[in-house]
Structure 1
Amino acid sequence: HFQTAPFDKNMPVLLALLGVWYGNFWGANSHAILPYDHYLRNITKHLQQLDMESNGKSVLQDGTPVKIDTGPVIWGGVGCNGQHAYHQLLHQGTQLIPADFIVPVVSFNPVADHHQWLYANCLSQSQALMQGKTREEAEAELRSKGLNEADIAKLAPHKVIPGNRPSNTLVVERISPRRLGALVAMYEHKVFVQSVIWGINAFDQWGVELGKELGKGVYQRLVGTLEDSAEDGSTQGLINYFRGRHRG
């Protein structure tokens, strides 16, 4: 698909372009991954590592500084849990945060109508991000519940939801090994396309190496095999605190 589909039908390319569009032109600094399936509960962590370690770069392939923002912060989690936590920020917060909803049509655990409700929650959340709720709609809703006009004027502004918040809804038949692999491959190719657009190298992680190197010296100072002070006073102070209070 990635090699043969034209750009206007190529999912990794389209997702990559949407990410560049919202990140570089609309100022979105993060991207939410919201799976509506228990078996995808860890996919956000995987995509976080994939995206942020690959495209968290500030230098072009020729060694010169990047002049635009590159990889976003990837975060999120299982959708129904998120609805009672950070979805509030998605709907009414001041930041623009694109989101990917991922949901299967068929569940491996068909208990009563639970999956229908799960699917409905996924679609309704994406619909709410898109449509929002106007001041007039909020006032009409409160009026239908019998509130007086003074209370309506006071409460309605808090119920307004801007809408027009970007999201994708990715629907799969069921979470099988093949479809899970295709889903991961789609995101891998998305990240690669973005690295090409930004001109960065998605296949190195030098930023991680520095902490590992410094960690050896910190460990040696913690256990007392290295007596000289750390490179900065803050770290040395934390080492001293540990050594003065650690038992075991």
Structure 2
Amino acid sequence: EKIRDGQWLGSTGKIITDVINIGIGGSDLGPKLACNALTEFSNPDINLHFISNVDGAEILSTLAKLNPETTLVALASKTFTTQETLLNAKTVINWFEKNLGLVQAQTSSHFIGLTANKPNALAYGIPESQILEFSEWVGGRYSLWSSIGLSIAISIGFDKFVQMLAGARAMDLHFQTAPLGNNMPVIMALLGIWYSNFKGAQSSAVIPYCERLLLLPSYLQQLDMESNGKATTLHGKSTDYDTGPIIWGQTGTNGQHAFFQLLHQGTRLVPIDFIASVKDGLSNEEHHRVLLGNMLGQSAALMTGQPAPYGEQHRYYPGNKPSNTLFMDRLSPKNFGALIALYEHKVFVQGSIWNINCFDQWGVELGKKMANRLLDADLDRSTLDPSSQSLFEHIDKVK
């Protein structure tokens, strides 16, 4: 609230107008989604920016628009060892030191650390009073509810952040207490398993008819695919069945003009989640009426299909394409929290049925290990596989 109220000052005494969240994966996707989704409730005096990719183009283009005197950085890393986050942080530190004459800018009021590893944050130079901890057992993709969600609280205010938590809690209680036949996470999980394991669906689409939920498919990709994209059971055995599907999607109506052709007439079965709010606090009423009409029309067309006129088989719509439709009365902090918790519990139920661990991500590790080896200045390239050697040769030629 100090930041929102203009009481948190930069090193030159100016109030904060811009906040950069530097993180990746769960330290980026959840907060960025929430801030975008709840923009109706945001503070217009503070601009939020999110930096995740190690590609320098992202951070340099962002810094070019900002004033270091009025910029605050939230370094979000569970371990405070994340390669991409620390490299981006180094670039921002250099930017502060060059423009403000600071020494060890990370020790100034321009930096806050969000982490489960306080000793590493302290060793990095973040003042103890500016470190917000969360528990080590909290996985990154489940961390937006924790201090990782600082950018959300800055954007919408702590009272609205608490409302978001309350919505998630309400879904937690529903999951714990509702009979299986009325239990939303269980029903969604079982439908997903039915289509994946019994009907051969290889992917599932998430299509919000709400531009503020543009980032939801990306968020759910990590939540679902990092949790359940595994082939080893809890007992150390290889599965002989499919597990997590590919998650993809886009907002409607844009998706209608991109990939709905495949959904209606393609050969692949793609179950769909349509998501919308009945009321919209931002857009023109006519816009929202047309938006909902399009979603309902697509849902009906996918279900019922249409026979082809004689001699025009290309106009045949087979129908019987499965979809769920999820309605919120409006996109409020509470309803947003419930929506995210709904998908968290759905993923957990599916992981339990598939007998896999939803809470690790060993598939991420090997690529990072290989990258670190290839970045070693003393690397003997003759020890690499032929493909990697060839790729390095191409890079050397271009350089």
For residue 170 of structure 1, what is the aligned residue in structure 2?
326
Distance apart, 1:172 and its partner CA? 0.5
For residue 158 of structure 1, what is the aligned residue in structure 2?
314
Distance apart, 1:231 and its partner CA? 3.0
Mapped to 1, the partners of 2:317 and 2:382 lie a distance apart of 54
The CA deviation string for residues 85-122 of structure 1, in whole angstroms up to 9 with x for no partner, is 11110000000100000010111223151100000001
Unmatched tracts of structure 1, length 5 or more: 140-151
Which structure 2 residues correspond to residues 179-198 of structure 1 after superposition, within 5 A? Answer: 179-198=335-354
For residue 96 of structure 1, what is the aligned residue in structure 2?
269
Amino acid at match of 1:123: L
Mapped to 1, the partners of 2:383 and 2:276 lie a distance apart of 49
**Residue 28 of structure 1 contacts residue 96 of structure 1 at CA under 8 Å; is this kept in 2?**
yes
SS in 1 for 2:257: coil
After superposition, the Cα gap between the structure-2 partners of 1:169 and 1:63, relative to the gap in structure 1 and judged at 3 Å, is same
Deviation beyond 3 Å, 4+ runs, structure 1 = none
Unmatched tracts of structure 2, length 5 or more: 1-173
The CA deviation string for residues 125-173 of structure 1, in whole angstroms up to 9 with x for no partner, is 01110000013xxx2xxxxxxxxxxxx52xx211110000000000101
SS in 2 for 1:31: strand
Mapped to 2, the partners of 1:79 and 1:108 lie a distance apart of 18
**Residue 31 of structure 1 contacts residue 98 of structure 1 at CA under 8 Å; is this kept in 2?**
yes
2:334 corresponds to 1:204: no
After superposition, the Cα gap between the structure-2 partners of 1:205 and 1:159, relative to the gap in structure 1 and judged at 3 Å, is same
Which structure 2 residues correspond to residues 109-128 of structure 1 after superposition, within 5 A? Answer: 109-128=282-301
SS in 1 for 2:396: helix
**Residue 218 of structure 1 contacts residue 230 of structure 1 at CA under 8 Å; is this kept in 2?**
no
Which structure 2 residues correspond to residues 1-248 of structure 1 after superposition, within 5 A? Answer: 1-135=174-308, 139=309, 153=311, 156-220=312-376, 224-246=377-399
**Residue 233 of structure 2 contacts residue 357 of structure 2 at CA under 8 Å; is this kept in 1?**
yes
Distance apart, 1:230 and its partner CA? 4.6
After superposition, the Cα gap between the structure-2 partners of 1:199 and 1:83, relative to the gap in structure 1 and judged at 3 Å, is same
**Residue 16 of structure 1 contacts residue 193 of structure 1 at CA under 8 Å; is this kept in 2?**
yes
SS in 2 for 1:102: strand
Distance apart, 1:242 and its partner CA? 1.0
Aligned-residue RMSD, C-alpha: 1.1
Amino acid at match of 2:345: H
Mapped to 2, the partners of 1:159 and 1:188 lie a distance apart of 39
Amino acid at match of 1:185: A
The CA deviation string for residues 191-246 of structure 1, in whole angstroms up to 9 with x for no partner, is 000000000001000010000000011222xxx43234353110111012112212
Amino acid at match of 1:161: Y
**Residue 381 of structure 2 contacts residue 389 of structure 2 at CA under 8 Å; is this kept in 1?**
no
Mapped to 1, the partners of 2:318 and 2:237 lie a distance apart of 40
**Residue 218 of structure 1 contacts residue 239 of structure 1 at CA under 8 Å; is this kept in 2?**
no
SS in 2 for 1:74: strand
* TM-score computed with the length of structure 1 as normaliser: 0.89
**Residue 101 of structure 1 contacts residue 167 of structure 1 at CA under 8 Å; is this kept in 2?**
yes
**Percent identity of equivalent pairs:** 52
Distance apart, 1:177 and its partner CA? 1.3
SS in 1 for 2:185: helix
Mapped to 1, the partners of 2:178 and 2:224 lie a distance apart of 23
